[in-house]
Amino acid sequence: MDRKAVVEKRALLLDDYFKVEEAYVSYEKFDGTMSAPVRRLDLVRGDAVAAILFDKERQRVILVSQFRYSALSRGTGWTTEAVAGVIDPGETPEQAVRREILEEAGYEVEKLERVFCFYPTPGITSERTILYYAEPRGDGPVAKGGGLSHENEDIRVVELPLKDAFQQLDRGEIADAKTIIGLMWLRERVSSARS
């Protein structure tokens, strides 16, 4: 059932790598009445793509490790995660995910399948992540990977045997939401294929 929401006032607070928008919004509550206007912030960045890259032949999951400043407040700042990035203007999600896989992991894609589109943190951002399952070409990496130096990326490719990737997931060693979602999906897919 669709409910009503009314944006009464909107302002741009920050216009940088991403934007921060402030809004005062009233929304229809579950009892049918309208709420009083409440202040909300939206981190506006556009949509992103991510890929669970799986080499079926070698039974390896290809992830990346990189420093994330926001994760530093709760740990070392280093994360192991699925290849991901923002969709550039004029680019389709499929083009973006293929570009990111090449830039970050050095692979060209043989098979690409859209899995989910989701809001990673809808309480603070309108960004959606479009998650893909990807199988690399069988001839190995065609580029160095590691990200783009002009974007100050320093990315290490992490190739894990499938069993090890699932064990890291189960032990809570992978804390990135898109990667957790993707690995859980992959585990179900692999399990279904074996039965």
Q: Which of 20-24, 69-73, 80-84, 107-111 has the weakest average pLDDT? A: 69-73
pLDDT of residue 149: 67
Enzyme catalytic residues: 151
Q: Is the pLDDT assigned to residue 26 strictly greater than 90? A: yes
pLDDT tens profile 151-165: 767 889 999 999 999
Kindly state the average pLDDT of the residues 3-22. Answer: 94
Q: Which of 57-61, 71-75, 105-109, 184-188 has the weakest average pLDDT? A: 71-75
Indicate yes or no: pTM above 0.85. yes
For the chain, percent of residues with pLDDT exceeding 90:
79
136-139: Cβ within 8 A, 24+ apart = 136/53, 136/55, 136/62, 136/101, 136/105, 136/107, 136/108, 136/109, 136/110, 137/107, 137/108, 137/109, 137/110, 138/57, 138/110
The number of residues in the chain equals 195
Angle at 135 between CA 129 and CA 136, to 5 degrees: 110
> Token digits for 149?
């130096």
Q: 127 or 194, which is more confident?
A: 127
Q: Is the pLDDT assigned to residue 144 strictly greater than 90? A: no
Closest CA to 51 of 122, 99, 121: 99
Mean pLDDT, the chain, integer: 93
pLDDT band at 188 (very low <50, low <70, confident <90, very high): very high
DSSP E strands in the chain: the ranges are 5-15, 19-27, 38-44, 48-55, 60-67, 78-81, 83-86, 109-118, 129-136, 156-161
Kindly state the average pLDDT of the residues 47-75. Answer: 94
pLDDT band at 66 (very low <50, low <70, confident <90, very high): very high
- 71-84 exposure pattern, b = at least 16 Cβ within 10 A, e = fewer: beeeeeeebbbbbb
Q: State the maximum Cα–Cα separation within the chain, in Å, rounded to a whole number.
A: 60
- How many separate helices (H) and strands (E) can be counted in the chain? 4, 10
Question: Where do we find the tokens 């009445």?
Answer: 33
Strand partners, 40: 23
pLDDT band at 1 (very low <50, low <70, confident <90, very high): low
C-alpha 10/C-alpha 26 separation (Å) is 12
